[in-house]
């Protein structure tokens, strides 16, 4: 390329610069004269909407310059899905990269177009953003708020809002048998799902058992399942059961779930247990307690009883569980259908508890095979967790007919039949299920399977007082899966009577429910008597709730105990009014397995405290 040659000397050459004499200067004068607005996307000082911020601290984790510190704010309370802390930004370190804004789980942290801050106090550069902005007090902005700058969009978002899809059996396939629906994550899938977790730990507070959720998810992410198993067994000996059928309240508080789908905490827990062989448990967990020489009797081998037994035996107590049924597990063994919780899953959890030396005496119904007094005499402390075993009835006309059944005995019968322990339950061609909770879903779906196996088609009508799926107490995925399997729902109907002709159930009549709860949130349904329907059926199953059975407790003990709406009142360590008697599970808290596990844990601590003092 030709280089620019020096031009020949020219008399007029200087003139070519003259045209620039009249040009306006480019530089602009600030402040006062011209206020230069930053661009729309400007990454200026932060603002944080406290009504949205949950204090998860993800901003401080991503910050490449360590400029963000989470600080506890007095006055804020730790709540479901919230931590009482807020980010504080050190503008001496901040590089204004906006990664904190892009990863913010709630979208509360944003950046303004503000770029000038003058102060002679160095402390002023350490700032806890509020929704107004750094210079709000100087009254610089039109609406008292700094103008928004950088806003996160789908391109800049660096949080993963979409869950790794869980492989499941197709509805057409699964309704033909009691095969387990959820297949479980593969290693790759589990690690991908674990990578979505931001490790904030908000879930730990929400979990009744306060499991170390971020820690075991991180173990999965690192690929160290042995460490993950140790984290699980720190707080929950029924991780395999919980990994399948827990009500996963943790997921409802997950910070990733604020804007997207929560991390699949339950499935990740299941992944650990599914993938550590049972033979390795003893080596990994290495529980070798010193024997204390004292014994504890536990009545009922449901979640609370097993959990208490595990924690007590890790402390060195001799534990004996008295179980009325032929197999241990309580509601996990006899209530939850097999397609959600196969026997093998339960066996693995119980086998490890037994391996610790816990004795489980099955077919030992307290009050029949053995007296309560005998148990009380034999042990230093007693823990009762007998659950809610009795069904409730709507008591409408016709419910005394033998073909009007209770859900729990039916579920037990089905499970016993499937494992070859009992006779085949009656399978109606047309079935009505009354109820909108998880038990109603379980029985509807179990019967749908039996109907398919027997007749090749599903005819199950499930009616509930609640007028929408959202109002129904059942889990949304249960309802969705039941719909996929062909169960017909009729939300918002209350039973009038079971229609019986020639001593046979013909169906039931229902009236429209206008409301379920009154202004004081009390159960007080109101009906429209003129709006009625009739549904044909040859069997009706009631699944409207369960009640406890305390008949095994001697009368003088029952008089000493305090009851609140059918539940036993205890202190925080699940100790009843009788100091050697502890209680837990559905008869104290309810309503799910993880609450039972938590009760068992609390009671174990309480029993240890009581027996250490004794």
Partner 1 sequence: MGEVKLFFGPNHPGMHGNFSVHMYVEGDVVKRARPLPGFLHRGFEKLMERRYWYSNIALIPRICVPEPDINEACYAMGVEKIAKLEVPERAQWIRMIVLELARIANHLMAVGGIGGPIGLYTAPQWGTADRDRILDIFEALSGARVYHMYIVIGGVRKNLTPRIEDMIWKTMDYIESRLPDYENLIFKNRILHSRLKGRLILTREQALEMGVTGVGLRATGVEYDVRKVDPYLFYDKVDFEVPTATDGDAFSRVYLKFKEIPQSIKIIRQALEKMPQGDKVNVPVSKGSALRRIVPKGMAYVHIESARGEYGFFVVSDGKNKPYRVAVRGASYPQGLYGIEKYLPGTRIEDVPIWLATMDVCAPEIDR
- Give yes or no for a contact between 163 and 171, defined as CB atoms under 8 angstroms apart: no
| Binding segment toward partner 1, per CB under 8 A, in 95-103, 240-248, 304-312, 544-552 | 95-103
Sign of CA dihedral 48, 53, 57, 61: negative
- The number of C-alpha atoms within 13 Å of 439 and in the hemisphere containing its C-beta is 26
Give one DSSP letter per residue of 280-299, joined into a string. HHHHHH---PPP-S-EEEEE
**Closest distance to partner 1 from the beta carbon of 45 (Å):** 13
Q: Candidates 97, 148, 168, 355: give the one binding partner 1 (CB under 8 A).
A: 97
Cβ-based nearer residue to partner 1, 153 or 279 = 153
Separation between Cα atoms, residue 493 and residue 510, nearest integer Å: 6
Cβ-based nearer residue to partner 1, 96 or 388 = 96
- Give yes or no for a contact between 283 and 357, defined as CB atoms under 8 angstroms apart: no
Cβ-based nearer residue to partner 1, 20 or 523 = 20
Cβ-based nearer residue to partner 1, 192 or 204 = 192
Cβ-based nearer residue to partner 1, 150 or 552 = 150
> Binding mask 446-485 vs partner 1 (x if CB under 8 A, - otherwise)?
----------------------------------------
The C-alpha angle with vertex 486 and arms to 484 and 490, in degrees rounded to 5, equals 100
Q: Is 16 a residue that touches partner 1 (CB under 8 A)? A: yes
Q: Candidates 232, 256, 341, 345: give the one binding partner 1 (CB under 8 A).
A: 256
Residue 12, token pair as written in the block: 């007029």
Q: Is 64 a residue that touches partner 1 (CB under 8 A)? A: yes
Q: Candidates 54, 70, 98, 543: give the one binding partner 1 (CB under 8 A).
A: 98
Separation between Cα atoms, residue 604 and residue 312, nearest integer Å: 5
Q: Candidates 42, 233, 281, 339: give the one binding partner 1 (CB under 8 A).
A: 42
Separation between Cα atoms, residue 522 and residue 537, nearest integer Å: 32
| Binding segment toward partner 1, per CB under 8 A, in 16-24, 123-131, 245-253, 378-386 | 16-24
Q: Is 40 a residue that touches partner 1 (CB under 8 A)? A: yes
**Closest distance to partner 1 from the beta carbon of 158 (Å):** 4
Give the strand order in the sheet containing 581-583: 359-361, 318-322, 295-299, 381-384, 581-583
Q: Is 268 a residue that touches partner 1 (CB under 8 A)? A: no
Give CA torsion, residues 297, 303, 304, 308, to 10 deg: 60
The residue among 544, 342, 327 whose CA lies nearest residue 443 is 544
What is the helix (H) or strand (E) element at residue 404, kind and residue range? Answer: strand 404-406
Cα(first)–Cα(last) distance of the chain, in Å?
100
Q: Is 194 a residue that touches partner 1 (CB under 8 A)? A: yes
| Binding segment toward partner 1, per CB under 8 A, in 37-45, 228-236, 363-371, 599-607 | 37-45
Q: Candidates 83, 85, 96, 441: give the one binding partner 1 (CB under 8 A).
A: 96
Q: How many Cβ atoms are within 10 Å of 375's Cβ, its own excluded?
A: 19
| Binding segment toward partner 1, per CB under 8 A, in 13-21, 69-77, 118-126, 415-423 | 13-21
Cβ-based nearer residue to partner 1, 93 or 512 = 93
Coil vs helix vs strand at 482: helix
> Binding mask 551-570 vs partner 1 (x if CB under 8 A, - otherwise)?
--------------------
Q: Is 186 a residue that touches partner 1 (CB under 8 A)? A: no
Q: Is 221 a residue that touches partner 1 (CB under 8 A)? A: yes
Residues 140-169 that bind partner 1 (CB under 8 A): 149-150, 153-156, 158-160, 164
Q: Candidates 89, 103, 308, 413: give the one binding partner 1 (CB under 8 A).
A: 103
- Give yes or no for a contact between 477 and 368, defined as CB atoms under 8 angstroms apart: no
Coil vs helix vs strand at 463: strand
Q: Is 3 a residue that touches partner 1 (CB under 8 A)? A: yes
Residue 607, token pair as written in the block: 């029993």
Separation between Cα atoms, residue 153 and residue 92, nearest integer Å: 27
Residue with tokens 């196969």: 342
Q: Do the strands 390-391 and 546-547 form a parallel or antiparallel pair, or are they unpaired?
A: antiparallel
**Closest distance to partner 1 from the beta carbon of 166 (Å):** 14
Q: Is 77 a residue that touches partner 1 (CB under 8 A)? A: no
Q: Candidates 71, 73, 140, 195: give the one binding partner 1 (CB under 8 A).
A: 195
Instruction: Report the largest interatomic distance among the alpha carbons of the chain, rounded to a whole angstrom.
Output: 126
Site residues (vs partner 1, CB under 8 A):
1, 3-4, 6-7, 16-17, 20, 26-27, 38-43, 58, 61-65, 95-99, 102-103, 111, 149-150, 153-156, 158-160, 164, 192-199, 221, 256
């Amino acid at each position: 390329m030709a280089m620019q040659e020096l031009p020949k000397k020219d008399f007029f050459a200087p003139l070519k610069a003259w045209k620039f004499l009249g040009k306006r200067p480019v530089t602009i004068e600030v402040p006062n004269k011209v206020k230069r607005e930053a661009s729309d996307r400007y990454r200026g000082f932060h603002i944080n909407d406290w009504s949205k911020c949950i204090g998860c601290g993800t901003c401080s984790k991503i910050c490449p310059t360590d400029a963000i510190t989470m600080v506890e704010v007095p006055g804020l309370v730790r709540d479901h899905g919230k931590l009482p802390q807020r980010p504080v930004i050190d503008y001496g370190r901040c590089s204004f990269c906006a990664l904190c804004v892009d990863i913010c789980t709630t979208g509360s942290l944003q950046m303004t177009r503000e770029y000038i801050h003058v102060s002679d106090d160095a402390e002023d550069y350490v700032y806890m953003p509020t929704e107004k902005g750094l210079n709000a007090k100087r009254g610089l902005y039109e609406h008292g708020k700094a103008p928004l700058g950088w806003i996160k969009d789908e391109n800049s978002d660096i949080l993963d809002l979409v869950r790794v899809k869980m492989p499941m059996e197709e509805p057409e396939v699964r309704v033909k048998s009691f095969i387990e629906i959820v297949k479980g994550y593969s290693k790759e899938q589990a690690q991908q799902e674990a990578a979505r977790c931001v490790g904030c730990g908000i879930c730990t507070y929400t979990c009744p058992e306060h499991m170390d959720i971020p820690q075991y998810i991180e173990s999965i992410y690192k690929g160290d399942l042995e460490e993950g198993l140790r984290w699980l067994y720190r707080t929950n000996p029924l991780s395999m059961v919980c990994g399948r059928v827990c009500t996963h309240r943790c997921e409802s508080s997950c910070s990733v779930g604020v804007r997207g789908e929560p991390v699949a905490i339950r499935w990740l827990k299941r992944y650990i247990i599914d993938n550590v062989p049972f033979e390795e448990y003893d080596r990994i967990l290495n529980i070798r307690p010193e024997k204390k020489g004292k014994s504890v009797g536990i009545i009922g081998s449901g979640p609370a009883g097993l959990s208490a037994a595990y924690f007590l035996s890790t402390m060195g107590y001799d534990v004996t569980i008295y179980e009325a049924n032929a197999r241990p597990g309580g509601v996990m063994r006899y209530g939850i259908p097999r397609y959600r919780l196969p026997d093998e899953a339960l066996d693995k959890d119980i086998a490890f508890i037994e391996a610790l030396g816990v004795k489980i005496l099955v077919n030992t119904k307290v009050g029949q095979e053995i007296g309560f007094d005998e148990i009380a005499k034999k042990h230093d402390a007693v823990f009762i967790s007998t659950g809610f075993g009795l069904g409730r009835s709507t008591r409408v006309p016709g419910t005394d007919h033998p073909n009007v059944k209770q859900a729990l005995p039916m579920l037990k019968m089905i499970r016993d039949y499937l494992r070859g322990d009992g006779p085949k339950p009656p399978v109606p061609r047309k079935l009505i299920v009354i109820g909108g909770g998880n038990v109603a879903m379980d029985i509807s779906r179990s019967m749908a399977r039996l109907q398919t196996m027997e007749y090749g088609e599903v005819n199950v009508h499930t009616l509930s007082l609640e007028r929408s799926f959202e109002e129904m107490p059942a889990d949304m995925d249960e309802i969705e899966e039941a719909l996929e399997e062909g169960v017909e729902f009729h939300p918002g109907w209350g039973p009038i009577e079971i229609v019986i002709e020639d001593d046979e159930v013909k169906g039931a009549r229902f009236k429209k429910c206008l409301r379920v709860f009154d202004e004081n949130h009390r159960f007080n349904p109101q009906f429209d008597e003129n709006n009625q329907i009739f549904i044909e059926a040859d069997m009706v199953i009631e699944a409207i709730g369960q009640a406890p059975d305390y008949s095994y407790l001697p009368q003088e003990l029952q008089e000493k105990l305090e009851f609140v709406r059918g539940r036993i009142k205890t202190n925080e360590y699940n100790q009843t009014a009788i100091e050697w008697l502890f209680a837990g599970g559905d008869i104290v808290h309810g309503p799910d397995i993880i609450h039972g596990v938590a009760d068992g844990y609390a009671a174990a601590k309480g029993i240890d405290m009581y027996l250490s003092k004794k």
